Amino acid sequence: MSEITSSNGHPPTDPHHDSRSTQELGEPIPNPGLPEHQPRPSDVDPAMERRAERQVAGMFVAATVLALAFCVCYFTIDPQATVFGYGAMNLALGTTLGLALLLIGLGANHWARKLMADHEIIEYRHSAASSPEDREAAITAFKTGAAESGFGRRTLVRNTLLGALGVLGLPAVVLLRDLGPLPGDSLDHTVWRKGVRIVNDVAGTPLRPADIELGQLVNAEPALFFPQQGPNGKVIPARYDGTALNDEKAKAAVILVRMLPEDIHPIKSQASWGYDGILCYSKICTHVGCPISLWEQQTHHLLCPCHQSTFDLAHSGRVIFGPAARSLPQLNIGLDSEGYLIALHDFYVPVGPSFWERG
Amino acid sequence: MSTAANSKGDGAVKWLDERVGLAGLAKKQLRKVFPDHWSFLLGEIALWSFVILLLTGVFLSLWFKPSMTEVQYVGSYSNLRGIKMSEAYASTLNISFDVRGGLLMRQMHHWAANLFLAAMSIHMLRIFFTGAFRKPREINWLIGLSLLMLGILEGFAGYSLPDDLLSGTGLRIADGIIRSIPVVGTYAEFFIFGGQFPGDIFIPRLYTVHVLLIPGLLLGLISAHMLLLVYQKHTQWPGPGRTNDNVVGFPLLPVYMAKAGGFFFIVFGVTALMGALMQINPIWMYGPYDPGEVTAGSQPDWYMGWLEGGLRIMPNWESHLWGFTISWNVMIPGLALMGILFTALGAYPFIERWITGDNAEHHLLDRPRNQPTRTGLGVAGITAYGLLWIAGGNDVIATHFDLSLNSITWFMRFAIFIGPVIAFTVARRWAISLQHHDRELLLHGYETGVIVRSPDGGYSELHAPLSPEHAYLLSTQPRSVPLQLPPGEDSNGIPAPLHRKERLRIRLSQFWYADDVQKPTADELEAAHHHHDDDGPMIEDGHHVGIETGGQVGGDDFDLEETPAQN
Amino acid sequence: MKFLSARRRHPLAGLVVLLLALVVMGGLYSAFRPAAADQSGSDTALISQGRRLFVVSCATCHGLNGEGILTKQNTNFGPPLVGVGAAAVDFQVGTGRMPMAQPGPQAQARTPIFDPGEVRALAAYVASLGPGPAIPTDAQYSTSGLTAEQIAQGGEFFRTNCTACHNFAGKGGALPNGKYAPTLIGVNPKYVIEAMITGPQQMPKFSNGVIKPQEKREIIAYLQQLKSQPGYGGSKLGSLGPVTEGLWGWVLGIGVLVLATVWISNNGARVTKKKSQ
């Protein structure tokens, strides 16, 4: 209660706690003390005791057998085999190991419950705090040491040491600089640019408007991610591969959808970004970046499976439900000379989740 | 035992003691007493799960390759053969299909992780509701919270390592959350991922965090947790012979050695059986991570589910100020929620102590009913957590209970504020009514179910006094004494100058104990036992007739002449 | 006729006439009954049989000539069926989604009320309204001859185009406002192909121009692999991902272990049980 008085010197009325208040008002029921120990059947009946002994030993024997069975299964079962529609190896190894362990555990506890002495013991507690003398002595020792070091007196030495230690933090921080490059403007751009063909994901085939039917959804990527047929019949290898491919795909993945041109109600600035009812949107959710492609072809709504942000693709990708704040970025598309769908420009806004300097 | 064996053992003890001198410690600790109660073993589930995690984790690390280098899969799972994937994913497939017992170890590792966090959570709830965090155990409470927080991070790191579609989606969300940090978000993102997401260095980094950094911290903190437990001795339930100054139970050697050691094998065995029978995280079905793919039902493991729920039900608030963006919709659930929970939990013991002014050492546990406000707060917290949890699975709930996704989200947006308030009120009143019940039991005994007809035609139920043990159990809690405002003015007529903080504290204290039912005083009890006219007949004190166990109720035991007619 | 006219006032005459009329009507009905259509009939016969069925069962919502009916809000009461093709009819009616039992967020699959012959007639009629995709042939969804690599590639198509709605194991998932993507496990591959090419209800189309017929067969083959795949690690727990795993972890894992704690800390039978509280 010392902290109450120390807070402002005017203690609220002393709160009575625990033993004191109890003593004043009287403990209604006296502590009856530890109940008398009562023996177990196995303590008084030798037959029961032997039975318990046999049970415990039986469990340990069974565990031994199961552990050996585990080894047998390991070497004899075909890793590809199945049983009851389950992988046979996993099932056999897991059940033998699991039951062996379980039996050891049950046996040990059965032993403790039935056979080990079970008299309750009383142990007394002691306050965690040291004796006042010890505390005093400790403080004195500390003060003596501190005084002998001159830490408080030699301020020049002390302050320069503290300064040096403080500045030592800088190398530790600076060393981490090469954890990664600075973002620069890499979040603002994708690999889309004028003339890049929009191709079907996985297969990498370029798309003509005629391939895309009303109500169609195409999970698409820039052609740079796939080997492409060149004009002279040569195969142009994919521009991106491995890590670079994943990094760019994480920004450049798109979906193409087709709806009736009269169903489309774009904002003015994006009115001409489609081609004959075909619209192209970023596949990366503006909430936290899940790829979204749950397109409802009748309502024209696009749902994110992660957090259920819903975008209306007939209205320039505006948010109509869920935690996303920004419209889905739309890609301005057109046709190239061979009649394939291409991008006419990179996205005009950064794709994916918002960030501080995005504005 | 032969003398030869004895002297041989003595020799070994002597050899060791002459070098490390542990006999002094062992003398005390080998027979250390632990009290017995099922709820004291919940933390042990967590401890043993951690040991299982270490064992299975070491096994997995012998084959797992923490690398994002792209390879073409050539292993024995034909549905992915020829597909390009990271080495991390390919090696996880290898562990699952080409290392015998590898799938079992993987599944045990994952189940043990789920159990580790679940056990820590219920262990923490047990500590909370019984007041075991009170002086002198506040430090251990904080260590426990750190363990829980590190456990969550460790679990998420493990979930992310195989680089399958689900873990990649999780990382993508983590990336979006990091990016939302004001001012330094994108820098933090680029430093953590070594460039743009996903890059090629994150999984190796995460691996070090998962197998070295966090397990090391966990190990150290668990050791501290256990040492403090041993030093401070375990709390115990109040009861006959059990006081604040002792601990009653069984000795470490042999009983707890067998019980706890045996429990390790039980936890291990249950985990192995789960690994054998219940498929978890079938990464081969998810496929390798591809930034252009996603699956319906993309969810984190259960312990992140509440944060996922927060992300789902958060309204789409985003501010644009002076050319900068603040994504409240991501920051609040993604970053603030975790901070709020752990700050609240960490501060709780100190706030409660400040409000109640209780500075005593407590080694006896509270029955939750005797702390109605704390119990109410705990239930409110569980409710909020549970609602967020449900929101995190709203798609699965929508399809399985024929509900609309949007309706669930809207419901949760309000329920998350209203639900905990209702839960607090109900739980607190419930606890108080249980206190009433206890007091009634003490004063008037228990209802025997025997109906007595009095000479003048009234019926009443016979009450019998409690056994001394039971009665004692119901009267062990301290009386609650809220802080009071000091008398209005001092001797000079000047009102006591109380700081605003002190006034708040007094008001909170009065709220804290409002409607608390005090146990009867000795006088009240005496009075009740001599004048139980109001409550019908009572079997006389001192006669413990085994009514429930089928004993005879002798007519001599009833105070028939005191039976009133009840109208 | 004397025999008849002499007995026309017989008390039972009315009953006989009634029975006769019923027999005639029954005979006529069975002659014209849609289901009894001779399956080998010409296209025109099939189409006209389809039209009769259409007028009875479909026209209320889709219009007498399949032109569609609009609501007052200018939304589709029943969408126009001109050009949807036989495949759409085969899918919608063959899976029992149409005729719709009651309005709702979406038509649900149930036991079809038309038999296969009637479905064919309806499909033929709707196909005659305008050109559209035909009912796929066996060859289009047969998975024979596909190599393991092709099936694996089918998995890539599946994960890119299908899992977002239908889940990684084809178990289905939630869509906005009570709609859902149904399970694909156990669905006749013909209907899977038809769904891809016709885009039933909210499902977008995946035309043959974009996902080639060969690639569709690969997807079908991968789906069949998913269906027949054993639970390598035990029960699949519904293949719904971490939600059900967490649920079972709590219920079974923690449940069993808490029972174990109760057993361990309970001290068991005593010789003289003291009177309980």
* Residue from B227, B177, B175 nearest B196 by CA: B175
pLDDT score for A22:
45
Of all residues in chain C, the one with the smallest CA distance to B548 is C276
Map B118-150 to HEC letters. HHHHHHHHHHHHHCCCCCCCHHHHHHHHHHHHH
C277 to chain B, closest Cα gap in Å: 6
Q: Is A343 helix (H, G, I), strand (E, B) or coil?
A: strand
Position A2 pLDDT exceeds 50:
no
Number of A–B residue contacts, CB under 8 Å: 395
Position C131 pLDDT exceeds 90:
no
Please indicate whether, in this complex, the C-beta atoms of A39 and C210 are within 8 angstroms of each other.
no
Contacts of A38 in chain C (CB under 8 A): 270-274
Please indicate whether, in this complex, the C-beta atoms of A303 and C176 are within 8 angstroms of each other.
yes
What does the pLDDT look like over B301-356, one tens digit per residue? 999 999 999 999 999 999 999 889 999 999 999 999 999 999 999 999 999 999 99
Contacts of C256 in chain A (CB under 8 A): none
* Residue from B67, B200, B295 nearest A247 by CA: B200
B150 to chain A, closest Cα gap in Å: 22
**DSSP category for residue A255:** E
Contacts of A86 in chain C (CB under 8 A): 230-235
A342 to chain B, closest Cα gap in Å: 19
Contacts of B173 in chain A (CB under 8 A): 288-290, 306
φ, ψ (nearest 5 deg) of residue B546:
-75, 70
What does the pLDDT look like over B63-79, one tens digit per residue? 999 999 999 999 999 99
Please indicate whether, in this complex, the C-beta atoms of B325 and A357 are within 8 angstroms of each other.
yes
What is the identity of the amino acid at B68? M
Q: What is the DSSP string of C45-110?
A: HHHHHHHHHHHHHTHHHH-TTS--EE-TTSSEEE---TT-HHHHHHHHHHTT-SS-SS--SSPPP-
Tell me which of B79, B117, B236, B394 to substitute to probe the interface with C (most C C-beta atoms closer than 10 Å): B79
* Residue from A246, A258, A261 nearest A291 by CA: A246
ipTM of the complex: 0.90
Tell me which of B37, B95, B329, B507 to substitute to probe the interface with A (most A C-beta atoms closer than 10 Å): B329
C138 to chain B, closest Cα gap in Å: 23
- All chains having 3 or more CB pairs closer than 8 angstroms to chain B: A, C
Compare CB distances from B470 to C159, C160, C277 and report the shortest one's residue.
C277
Of all residues in chain A, the one with the smallest CA distance to B176 is A288
For the ranges B269-273, B468-472, B543-547, C148-152, which has the lowest average pLDDT? B543-547
For the ranges B302-316, C30-44, C188-202, which has the lowest average pLDDT? C30-44
Please indicate whether, in this complex, the C-beta atoms of C176 and A308 are within 8 angstroms of each other.
yes
**DSSP category for residue C138:** H
C143 to chain B, closest Cα gap in Å: 14
Q: Is A199 helix (H, G, I), strand (E, B) or coil?
A: strand
Compare CB distances from C209 to A44, A86, A210 and report the shortest one's residue.
A210
B262 close to C (CB below 8 A): yes
Please indicate whether, in this complex, the C-beta atoms of C163 and B295 are within 8 angstroms of each other.
yes
Contacts of A310 in chain C (CB under 8 A): 176
pLDDT score for B529:
77
Q: CB–CB of B114/B96 below 8 Å?
A: no
What is the mean predicted confidence (pLDDT) over B100-121?
A: 97
Please indicate whether, in this complex, the C-beta atoms of B259 and A112 are within 8 angstroms of each other.
yes
Q: Which residues contact A268 (CB under 8 A, 6 or more apart)?
A: none
Tell me which of B42, B120, B290, B405 to substitute to probe the interface with C (most C C-beta atoms closer than 10 Å): B405
pTM: 0.89
Number of A–C residue contacts, CB under 8 Å: 123
pLDDT score for C34:
45
Of all residues in chain C, the one with the smallest CA distance to A257 is C204
What does the pLDDT look like over B508-535, one tens digit per residue? 999 999 889 988 888 888 888 776 554 4
Please indicate whether, in this complex, the C-beta atoms of B185 and A356 are within 8 angstroms of each other.
yes
Of all residues in chain B, the one with the smallest CA distance to C261 is B38
What does the pLDDT look like over A165-196, one tens digit per residue? 999 999 999 999 999 999 999 999 999 999 99
Compare CB distances from A289 to B176, B241, B496 and report the shortest one's residue.
B176
Alpha carbons C58 and C225: distance in angstroms, whole number: 37
